[in-house]
Structure 1
Amino acid sequence: MADFSIRTYKDRDYNAVRALFAEGLLSYIPSTSVHLLKRPHVYMTIFVSLVTLHLVFKSYLLSVSSVGILLAAGFIVMKTIFNSYINKCYREDLLNIKESYMTAHNSCFWVAESNGRVVGMVGVQPVQDSCHDVVLRRLSVATDQRHRGVAQKLCMAVIDFARQRGYKHVTLDTSTLLHACHRLYLRLGFRITRVKRHQTLTGRIADVSVIYYAYDIKT
Structure 2
Amino acid sequence: MAEYKIRNYRRSDYDSVRQLFASGMNEYVPSVCVHVLKQPWVIFVMVCLFLSLMVSSKSLILPLLAVTLLLAVGRQVLGYCWYMYIDHCLKEDLRDIQKTYMESKGSSFWVVEADESIIGTVAVKPSDEKHDELVLKRMSVRKDYRGLGIAKALSREVIGFARANGYKSVILNTLMVQYEAKKMYESVGFKKYFEYMMPTVYGRLVNFTISKYRYDTLHVT
Does TM, scored on the shorter chain, surpass 0.5?
yes
2:2 and 2:114 in contact (8 A); partners too: no
Question: What secondary structure does 1:140 align onto?
Answer: strand
2:110 counterpart residue number:
110
2:134 and 2:167 in contact (8 A); partners too: yes
Displacement of 1:15? 0.7
Unaligned runs of 5+ in 2: none
What code does the residue aligned with 2:47 have? F
1:206 counterpart residue number:
206
Map Cα deviations across residues 161-207 of structure 1 (whole Å, 9 max, x no partner).
11111110001111122111111111111111211112222222222
**Structure 2 residue 122 is matched with structure 1 residue 127:** no
**Structure 2 residue 29 is matched with structure 1 residue 29:** yes
2:192 and 2:214 in contact (8 A); partners too: yes
**Structure 2 residue 99 is matched with structure 1 residue 99:** yes
1:27 and 1:143 in contact (8 A); partners too: no
Measure the CA separation in 1 of the matches of 2:171 and 2:116.
30
| Identical amino acids, percent of aligned pairs | 37
Map Cα deviations across residues 58-103 of structure 1 (whole Å, 9 max, x no partner).
3211210111111011011111111101111111100000000011
2:70 counterpart residue number:
70
2:197 and 2:210 in contact (8 A); partners too: yes
Measure the CA separation in 2 of the matches of 1:6 and 1:34.
35
1:178 counterpart residue number:
178
What code does the residue aligned with 1:28 have? Y
Question: What secondary structure does 2:63 align onto?
Answer: helix
Map Cα deviations across residues 84-126 of structure 1 (whole Å, 9 max, x no partner).
0111111110000000001111110011111011111110001
Measure the CA separation in 2 of the matches of 1:55 and 1:129.
56
**Structure 2 residue 152 is matched with structure 1 residue 165:** no
Q: Which moved more, 1:17-26 or 1:39-48?
A: 39-48
Unaligned runs of 5+ in 1: none
Measure the CA separation in 1 of the matches of 2:139 and 2:112.
11
Measure the CA separation in 2 of the matches of 1:47 and 1:57.
15
Change (3 A) 1:164 1:18: same
1:54 and 1:60 in contact (8 A); partners too: yes
2:93 and 2:100 in contact (8 A); partners too: yes
2:41 counterpart residue number:
41
Measure the CA separation in 2 of the matches of 1:86 and 1:154.
22
Q: Which moved more, 1:126-135 or 1:152-161?
A: 126-135
2:189 counterpart residue number:
189
Question: What secondary structure does 1:112 align onto?
Answer: strand
Measure the CA separation in 1 of the matches of 2:30 and 2:62.
26
Measure the CA separation in 2 of the matches of 1:22 and 1:81.
14
1:171 and 1:214 in contact (8 A); partners too: yes
Displacement of 1:2? 4.2
Measure the CA separation in 2 of the matches of 1:61 and 1:48.
16
Question: What secondary structure does 2:147 align onto?
Answer: coil
